[in-house]
Amino acid sequence: MMRSRFDEQLALLNREIIEMGALCEEVISLASSALSEGDMKLAAQIEPLDRIIDQKERDIETLCIRLLLQQQPVARDLRQISAALKMITDMERIGDQADDIADIIMSLNGRTVEEHSHINEMATATMKMVTDSVDAYVKRDIALAQAVIDYDDVVDECFICVKKNLIKMIAANPDDGEYALALLMIAKYFERIGDHATNIAEWVVYAVTGIHKEITP
């Protein structure tokens, strides 16, 4: 009976993480659309969602603590709960960074990034990474988690291209230096979101296998 209740709580944990992951996908999608369309109204929708993500982190943290105290979890359960606690920290940071992107978009006064396709590619790639990392956690799919980890190279390559293009832009038009710096910051935030998605995927591998590159036996 106790185990049955515990399994129900674990299922609730999964649902909560899926919901938090969906919110992260939504803020990245809004940031990407706001950026490509120069739409400050879309950007303004991100901050309230970021606050919901922050609340989700607190709620899931409380649930995890309750699970740990309710019953002595077996090793597999303990890994899953520990991984969830680590993952929600990365998800919360994803929300913060999407909000940071929104702040910069607001300062661009409707200017878009149409000529900087690599930034849009970064937005699309990071959204895929977040979606797949959460999916990997729910399905306990190590192969999918590893694919997310490998895919971070795509985001990193895009970031290198963005930097090169912005250097060329400043050289051609020094008056656009402030705009170029804003775009560089946006690209850097997307690059960090990719890193957080990678972290999530690495904790998925740990939850399933007990192996994490930063944890020594």
Q: What's the predicted TM-score (pTM) here?
A: 0.92
Would you place residue 68 in the very low, low, confident or very high pLDDT band (cuts 50, 70, 90)? confident
Q: Is residue 41 part of a domain?
A: yes
Sequence-ordered list of residues with C-beta below 8 angstroms from that of 208, at least 6 positions apart, any chain: 79, 140, 142, 145
Residue 117 belongs to domain with CATH number = 1.20.58.220
Residue 133, domain extent = 2-209
Q: Is residue 215 part of a domain?
A: no
The pLDDT score that the predictor gives to residue 125 is 93
Q: What is the pLDDT of residues 38-55, one digit of tens each?
A: 889 999 999 999 999 999
Q: Is residue 137 part of a domain?
A: yes
Question: Taking Cα atoms as reference points, which of 133, 8, 22 lies closest to residue 77?
Answer: 8
Q: Is residue 90 part of a domain?
A: yes
d(CA 125, CA 120): 9
Mean pLDDT value of segment 166-173 = 89
Q: Is residue 180 part of a domain?
A: yes
Q: Cβ–Cβ contacts within 10 Å for residue 29, how many? A: 16
* Count of alpha carbons within 13 angstroms of residue 64, beta-carbon side: 22
Total domains present in the chain: 1
Q: Is residue 214 part of a domain?
A: no
Q: Is residue 158 part of a domain?
A: yes
Q: Is residue 36 part of a domain?
A: yes
Lowest mean pLDDT across 18-32, 43-57, 60-74: 60-74
Cα–Cα–Cα angle for 144, 147, 151, nearest 5°?
145
